[in-house]
Amino acid sequence: MSTTDIGVAVIGAGMAGKAHAAGYRTAPTVYDSTLPPVRLVSIADAYAPLAESTAERFGFERFDTSWQAVVEADDIDVVSVVVANALHREIVEALLAAGKHVLCEKPLSDTLADARAMVAAAEAASTVARIGLTYRRSPGVAHIRDLVRSGRLGRVLNVSGHYWTDYGCNPDSPISWRYKGPNGSGALADVGSHLTYLAEFVAGAEFASVRGGTLSTVIPSRPRPLGAVVGHEGGAVSSEREAVENDDIAAFSGEFAGGGTATLQVSRVAAGHANSLVFEVFGEKGSALFDFRRPGQFELFLPEAEDAGYRTVTLGPTHPYWRGGLAMDAPGVGVGQNEGFVFQARAFLEEVAGIPESSSLPRNAGFDEGLHNMLLIDAVARSAALGGGAVTVPATTPVAV
């Protein structure tokens, strides 16, 4: 284990960048193993006021206005990359070449060619390169996965899920990088990437094929912003409009390797659903339902139980991540999406420090899993281009489902 301190930076000060910054700040306070001292060094963002305010808010020593400054800094060891997907490859390759450890937000990139190049760069690097699949770290999600792996729910027959958001519901909200790029890089890549990796995670199998792909753009143009666009926030806009290039809504069905199916839908224009991610796993022996709007519980159906029917299970110390992962780790105290970023940061810092992996805090996913997720999304886009025809998902290195 390293005994030297670890200097941390976050490139990108938007909504998810703040979550990474908060995660690093809290990570040293959870679980029993002792990390080397963690120094919060820099928040980098091209928009200087945002970089400065985020650095001050989360206790980082300074702010930078270019990612190149982070690459060149001798006092930075660990970097989260949380910027537009199209920028990932150039930044990640430069960081790895400079000997930095990298945690990249999903999706890995915006093109398969760039994603493959990033996998190659990670394999050649002497440092750690990981992708953040944060929703896997929700205690309820991880426990449902454990129920499947233990055989308690029996063989998985079907996973049904949707991820509905409304950040794009207003047709006069400003255009940003999220609305650029070909079909498949819109709602499908943005929120669908989460739903697809969760479906594989809880089912314990990768998708072998997809069919019925549909991609719809229902708001064809958006106004140009007059200033910086941060996260999903709005702001002043111009009277000039630009074309939306990708999907507002996406859906598909798929078959898992070894059997079982899934039916998934995502949207960024679902009025009234700020962040509604729901999935249900149907097995031969029972079912489980999880709703991210109520992350401190899940629903479980086991037909052999007395008065059979769905019952609510309140999460607590017997469930994944809970014991030691929360300051108050008593049953029913509540947990949310922000804690996932803490567990993610902690796992990454432990790996960098050489602390042995524990069953209670598994490592983050590798870039190969990020590539697999992009190949799956691409297969859905190709299915849509074929009018919903069946498309095989190309094989990669098996992912940790």
Residue boundaries of the structural domains of the chain: 6-134, 136-334+366-392
**Mean pLDDT of all residues in 64-84:** 97
Checking if the pLDDT of 387 tops 80, the result is yes
Binned at pLDDT 50, 70 and 90, residue 3 comes out as low
pLDDT at 199: 98
- Judge whether 6-134 and 136-334+366-392 match in fold: no
Architecture of domain 136-334+366-392: 2-Layer Sandwich (3.30)
What one-character DSSP code corresponds to residue 240? E
d(CA 199, CA 285) in angstroms, rounded, equals: 18
Q: What is the pLDDT of the chain when averaged over all its residues?
A: 94
CATH architecture of 6-134: 3-Layer(aba) Sandwich (3.40)
State the average pLDDT over residues 1-19.
89
Reported as a single tens digit per residue, the pLDDT across 98-136 is 999 999 999 999 999 999 999 999 999 999 999 999 999
Give the residue-averaged pLDDT of 180-206: 95
Note the pLDDT of residue 179.
94
**Which residues lie below 8 Å from residue 114, measured CB to CB, with a gap of 6+?**
88, 89, 108
Model pLDDT, residue 13: 96
> What global pTM score does this model have?
0.93
Mean pLDDT of 197-214: 98
> pLDDT tier at 1 (50, 70, 90 boundaries)?
very low
Q: How far apart are the first and last CA of the chain?
A: 28
pLDDT in tens, 308-343: 789 999 999 999 999 999 999 999 888 999 999 999
Omega within 30 of 0 (cis) for the link into 107: yes
Residue 150's φ and ψ, nearest 5 degrees, are: -75, -15
Q: Name the pLDDT band for 367 (thresholds 50, 70, 90).
A: very high
β-sheet with 6-11: strand ranges across = 62-64, 38-44, 6-11, 78-81, 101-105, 129-132, 365-366
Q: Which helix (H) or strand (E) holds 247?
A: none
What CA–CA distances, in Å, run from 238 to 90, 173, 230, 242? 31, 10, 17, 10
Q: Which two tokens stand for residue 270?
A: 């679902």
Distance CA 310, CA 303 (A): 9
Least confident of 80-89, 113-122, 177-186, 282-291: 177-186
Confidence of residue 170 (pLDDT cuts 50, 70, 90): very high
